Amino acid sequence: MDKKLPLSSFRFGNIEVNGTLVAAPMDGISDSAFRRILRKQGAALCYTEFINAQDVLNDSILFQRKVASIREEEHPIGFQVYDADPDAVVTAAQKLTRFQPDFIDINIGCSVARVANRGAGAGLLLEPDKIAEIFDRLTDTLSIPITAKIRLGWDESHSNYLEISHLIEAHGGAMIAVHGRTRQQGFQGKANWDAIREIKKDISIPVIGNGDVKCVDDIHAMFSETKCDAIMIGRAAIANPWLFAMRDRHEISNAEVYALIREQLAMMVSDYEEETALLLFRKFVNHYLIPLHLNRAQKTVLFDHRTSQSLLKAIEKLLEL
């Protein structure tokens, strides 16, 4: 398999990105430790987990946890913000600049009902005027690039991705990441790469393609079919962070899996109380050990460990190291 990508870098606003594989913002997943793991594997750009503008305005501990522990090696990094109210988005974004993000990303794609049904995330696709206002105000007041992550529309009958893409560009947006599904699809069905290609052809700012990139072949195929500037990898990276190094999961030895698990767990223990770190780390271990086909009883025993050292010993034994 040819590991060479068609592009080696891209640029948006004043930011030069050394690489063309981008780590998606995933709520409950994309914390600092995981971002650092992905950067080491080759992710050229990262985003925070999405940040509720209301949490920023209220100085919630939730948003502080998402932005306060960012390390130097995570840059360039974007802070992704969501809300239905342009005033809240703009004020929150301005407030977040004190944590020195490289860019601010507006979430116009979250399909989760509690977000989209109140007009935030993908709900904004139904109100283009709000999107225009957000970009006008932010690009007028902030010196860093303002970007967006969008979906193709609310549903098939409201596929307004070209209108939204043109609007974002016209109102100062520096880059667009496009998930090739509608809000109604969620993560079901096939991602529409043709729509991503349409957007790339129609606008002049960089376009990041997202959706159904699960292996190295998919990376090559998306670049070839969409001509996008970069590719965003999300859910597939949870089980295979090595995808950013252009390696499929079957190529990874058990020793490499164990080394990454040790490194990430140590990072998380540094960022959280050990009990919390172990709880949060379960989802990653569950994905990293998928090739072992552990049954429910084995997982129950594995996740009953109360110290990182005992958990690591158990994993080492399962991997037969």
Residue 230 resides in a domain: yes
Q: Which domain holds residue 21?
A: 10-247
Q: Taking the alpha carbons of 28, 34, 39, 41 in that order, is the dihedral positive or negative?
A: negative
Q: C-alpha 54: how far from its chain's center?
A: 21
Q: Taking the alpha carbons of 60, 145, 121, 45 in that order, is the dihedral positive or negative?
A: negative
On whether both 163 and 52 belong to a single domain, the answer is: yes
pLDDT of 183 reads 87
Residue 304 resides in a domain: yes
CB distance 89 to 50 below 8 Å: no
Residue 3 resides in a domain: no
CB distance 263 to 294 below 8 Å: no
Q: What is the number of other CB atoms lying within 10 angstroms of the CB of residue 236?
A: 19
Residue 2 has pLDDT above 60, yes or no: no
Reply yes or no on whether 228 is catalytic. Answer: no
Kindly state the tokens that stand for 224. 């070839």
Residue 1 resides in a domain: no
Taking CB atoms within 8 Å and a gap of at least 24, the contacts of 185-188 are: 185/111, 186/111, 187/111, 187/235
The DSSP call for residue 13 is T
pTM for the full predicted model = 0.94
The CATH number given to whatever domain includes residue 138 is: 3.20.20.70
Domain final residue, candidates 223, 247, 271: 247
Residue ranges of alpha helices (H) inside 11-107 are 32-41, 53-57, 61-67, 86-96
Residue 23 resides in a domain: yes
pLDDT in tens, 174-194: 999 999 999 889 889 999 999
Q: Taking the alpha carbons of 54, 60, 66, 69 in that order, is the dihedral positive or negative?
A: positive
Q: Rounded to whole angstroms, what are the CA distances from 280 to 147, 239, 296?
A: 29, 15, 18
Mean pLDDT value of segment 93-99: 95
On whether both 180 and 278 belong to a single domain, the answer is: no
Mean pLDDT value of segment 287-294: 96
Please name every residue paired with 11 in a beta bridge, in sequence order, or none if there are none: 16
CA distance 264 to 87: 37
Residue 1 has pLDDT above 70, yes or no: no
CA distance 32 to 25: 11
On whether both 188 and 274 belong to a single domain, the answer is: no
pLDDT in tens, 198-236: 999 999 999 999 999 999 999 999 999 999 999 999 999
On whether both 258 and 243 belong to a single domain, the answer is: no
On whether both 197 and 276 belong to a single domain, the answer is: no
Residue 73 has pLDDT above 80, yes or no: yes
On whether both 80 and 206 belong to a single domain, the answer is: yes
Domain final residue, candidates 215, 247, 279: 247
Number of domains in the chain: 2
pLDDT of 155 reads 87
Q: Taking the alpha carbons of 128, 173, 26, 79 in that order, is the dihedral positive or negative?
A: negative
Q: C-alpha 35: how far from its chain's center?
A: 9
Taking alpha carbons only, the member of 284, 237, 240, 236 closest to residue 262 is 284
pLDDT of 65 reads 80
